[in-house]
Structure 1
């Protein structure tokens, strides 16, 4: 609890028990912030907030009718004010944590989870990112990759109170553009890679890049920026604008840490790490060349928080594949299967290119779709990439929202010129079909959803069993528990 005059320059010692920007959540003795969102004007909900117990209203637009028992405080920028007040209300928790932010088009979750899983071996550590908040034995779901301001500050405070010393936060371009992390004091920021994505939200590639750069613009001079050296444009831009000390990782360019002598296999990857003039062998179940970048980034981050290079590599080698991230699924049969939740064209290129290198004499069967109500231009591109690498394509639903799944699939098909393809709108049925047609040595790639347990449809978010479980169910149904040699 705080006094109002501790949070805002107001001559009032009202007791404030909570702060909100969502009128539906308001409780007694709270401050309500009238945020203007993408589709909602928070000023429309002032009366509802007061009815539910708000005693102070922070607003940017004029309020024509005011309640004499309520404190009104007008500002130019409600979002900026919310960030400042949230930090004060929760006693600036990020300043008491070793905060690591990870951004980039792909790889945020893998890099963040690698850092989290390994760092907690030597210190109490937390994670906030896609769908979850994790620390100690606590698990909490969050709605966005980078949660909104109040949720974020509240859970950082919970970490501090629980004795957590450091935390890794996935930082999305939406989170940066919407100011969700403006009140977070980062000690380290990691940039993974960049490719066109979310342009329906950002409007242009340059706006998307500028959103990513915000994370590095805000770093202190004693902070560290860890940057992909092989993404030359972003490396140069980040190095130019940030005050932080820049460290680099890469494969094709000389960097502070570099991977050489790479060998890609179906179930493992091996390479050598070149660091500080010495080489160190690495063998990991994280597969695909793109995961080598993620490993290098994680190692650099771990070195900054106290690990030796030997300790970091040993810990990396012990980490199992991250659920839903090009995850190899044991089928019990002579074909191979992977589930992966990546959905950008760049990621499809990486995953399918990897599959083409390890498939041998088998075929590549891909099951995927494209999300509804966004990024329409990428649909044909996904079709073109799949057409280049695949032998059979099954198009299906992937969070269609209120768009027609068949129409989305038809737009993907515009990029498919030579590969056999079929549209099966129900995702579980599509996965069943992939299993049914798979021959020995084939690779099934189920793309776009991964471990996600929900599907966004016309009526909103509905339960979904997840691609891995759908795959296992299909194998059980097709083979009835029998091994290939028994058939």
Structure 2
């Protein structure tokens, strides 16, 4: 592909001599550059891509795009005001505008993105519509699942994957980090969904206002006839509805003031004449999952799916890996593994657990190192309020010394109301060994994610730890029976 083809549509002027430069790929990591690649130098929080221009050229870069005013680069250099946005736009053109004939659905919010995306995918596929999925649990394209490393991947990888996609619909979780870092630049969405907003990621965004503005920006990527589906049960949702109205886009509003639909118990009630109600029943317990189901349901209706088919699909929905995932305990207890890692998410998950009428709820969780510390105290308070036993342990330390994290955990519990077991696998083992008939062990924060740190048991995740403990007990029982 000629450089002119990639750059001219962006309104960027290049010399006539440079127009004919042949481009065979693009990268923003100098180590991934190959012969005849464009290298896009991005200034980042940890390092500046401009420092690696020479390395990129040595690896074969024939054009460099950057933000600094540089001369004598050695290859054509194109200066732009925003390298991240330019990367997304160039990637879209290079990979042939891979979403132009697809139905694009973007989902943002603090909690519920993954469950809503899986619900919606299940609904659409139940009526024969093929769906790709880009999210925090996995990426699924053309029916093939692969591991996800970020909720929203970088613009080059994203467009490269989309170019291989033959699915009719693409459902994408869009994180606030991804939006701030322009990872979806160049994409346009038919439907954008907002789940909720609460205190999270303020180590990155600094204020709730900045966090909200990041989430809000997704709706600026709506197509001219695009639709916004918004959970408006808080002031953040109401504000977002008002913002989308200024964009002259259709808004489907769940709850709040003058809504399109209201959630009442396990029903979604359409307030448009004639008033109708639809069942939101699924295997996923809890008020928060009713909200997720309402978003998936109303989005499916906007895509002209028969409500009866949507109801049937929700009833058969099997759940999401690592989201309120249930495991039987040999003593008659039940273990629940969930990704919940915010105060409201804790409240929702523990209230949903209480619906099982357990004898006790034993709650195990930790805090990620070098992340938002302001939410920690309220998370502990919710756990103490809604469970009988609160066990504090490690999550990913992210470079924070274990001694510091232990001090942090102790400072959060000055009255010794919690049990502190730093080793996450031993914390789970402790609860496992204490569990009795009809107890619930709720393990939150990781979901299906692998551990970043090493622990005492030879396991890689919370789910793996539960299987290990169960298998060890089975082997032990077989040994005793053979004696």
Structure 2: distance between partners of 1:467 and 1:113 = 21
Matched, 1:337 2:335: yes
Q: TM-score, normalised by structure 2?
A: 0.90
CA distances 1:48-87 after superposition (whole Å, capped 9, x unpaired): 11111110011211335432xx222122222222222112
Shift in CA distance, 304/287, structure 1 to aligned 2, threshold 3 Å:
same
Question: Aligned ranges for residues 192-271 of structure 1 at < 5 Å?
Answer: 192-241=195-244, 242-250=247-255, 255-260=259-264, 262=265, 271=266
On the 8 A contact 1:217/1:243 being kept in 2, the answer is no
CA distances 1:325-360 after superposition (whole Å, capped 9, x unpaired): 111222343212100012112111211233344434
SS at match of 1:295: helix
Runs of at least 5 residues in structure 2 that lack an aligned partner in the other structure: 9-13
1:171 alignment partner in structure 2:
174
Which of these residues, 24, 41, 58, is aligned with residue 17 of structure 1? 24
1:43 alignment partner in structure 2:
50
SS at match of 1:432: helix
Matched, 1:82 2:87: yes
Matched, 1:456 2:452: yes
Deviates more, 1:184-193 or 1:347-356: 347-356
SS at match of 1:283: coil
On the 8 A contact 1:383/1:414 being kept in 2, the answer is no
Structure 2: distance between partners of 1:331 and 1:481 = 15
Structure 2: distance between partners of 1:447 and 1:233 = 25
Question: How far is the alpha carbon of 1:308 from its aligned partner?
Answer: 1.0
Which of these residues, 92, 100, 104, is aligned with residue 95 of structure 1? 100
On the 8 A contact 1:219/1:243 being kept in 2, the answer is no
1:303 alignment partner in structure 2:
301
Question: How far is the alpha carbon of 1:243 from its aligned partner?
Answer: 2.5
Matched, 1:315 2:323: no
Structure 1: distance between partners of 2:373 and 2:6 = 44
Structure 1: distance between partners of 2:416 and 2:324 = 23
On the 8 A contact 2:62/2:76 being kept in 1, the answer is yes
Deviates more, 1:205-214 or 1:388-397: 388-397
On the 8 A contact 1:102/1:112 being kept in 2, the answer is yes
CA distances 1:211-233 after superposition (whole Å, capped 9, x unpaired): 01101133244111000121233
Question: How far is the alpha carbon of 1:449 from its aligned partner?
Answer: 0.8
Equivalent pairs, count: 463
Deviates more, 1:338-347 or 1:418-427: 418-427
Question: Aligned ranges for residues 30-69 of structure 1 at < 5 Å?
Answer: 30-67=37-74
On the 8 A contact 2:132/2:169 being kept in 1, the answer is yes
Structure 1: distance between partners of 2:302 and 2:326 = 31
Structure 1: distance between partners of 2:58 and 2:461 = 41
Structure 2: distance between partners of 1:482 and 1:240 = 61
Question: How far is the alpha carbon of 1:132 from its aligned partner?
Answer: 2.7
2:390 alignment partner in structure 1:
393
Question: Aligned ranges for residues 286-297 of structure 1 at < 5 Å?
Answer: 286-297=284-295
SS at match of 1:167: strand
SS at match of 1:329: strand
Structure 2: distance between partners of 1:481 and 1:225 = 55
1:4 alignment partner in structure 2:
3
Deviates more, 1:406-415 or 1:134-143: 406-415
1:108 alignment partner in structure 2:
113
Question: How far is the alpha carbon of 1:451 from its aligned partner?
Answer: 1.0
Structure 2: distance between partners of 1:431 and 1:405 = 18
Structure 2: distance between partners of 1:469 and 1:218 = 39
Shift in CA distance, 142/347, structure 1 to aligned 2, threshold 3 Å:
same
SS at match of 1:286: coil
Question: How far is the alpha carbon of 1:402 from its aligned partner?
Answer: 1.4
2:154 alignment partner in structure 1:
148
SS at match of 1:94: coil
Shift in CA distance, 283/417, structure 1 to aligned 2, threshold 3 Å:
farther
Structure 1: distance between partners of 2:201 and 2:407 = 21
Deviates more, 1:409-418 or 1:310-319: 409-418
Structure 2: distance between partners of 1:230 and 1:129 = 24
Q: TM-score, normalised by structure 1?
A: 0.89
2:11 alignment partner in structure 1:
none
Structure 2: distance between partners of 1:305 and 1:234 = 22
2:439 alignment partner in structure 1:
442
Shift in CA distance, 405/253, structure 1 to aligned 2, threshold 3 Å:
farther
2:123 alignment partner in structure 1:
118
Runs of at least 5 residues in structure 1 that lack an aligned partner in the other structure: 263-270
Question: How far is the alpha carbon of 1:289 from its aligned partner?
Answer: 1.2
SS at match of 2:332: coil
On the 8 A contact 1:147/1:180 being kept in 2, the answer is yes
1:266 alignment partner in structure 2:
none
2:268 alignment partner in structure 1:
273
Structure 2: distance between partners of 1:327 and 1:126 = 23
Question: How far is the alpha carbon of 1:249 from its aligned partner?
Answer: 2.0
CA distances 1:418-449 after superposition (whole Å, capped 9, x unpaired): 67432222222111110111122211001111
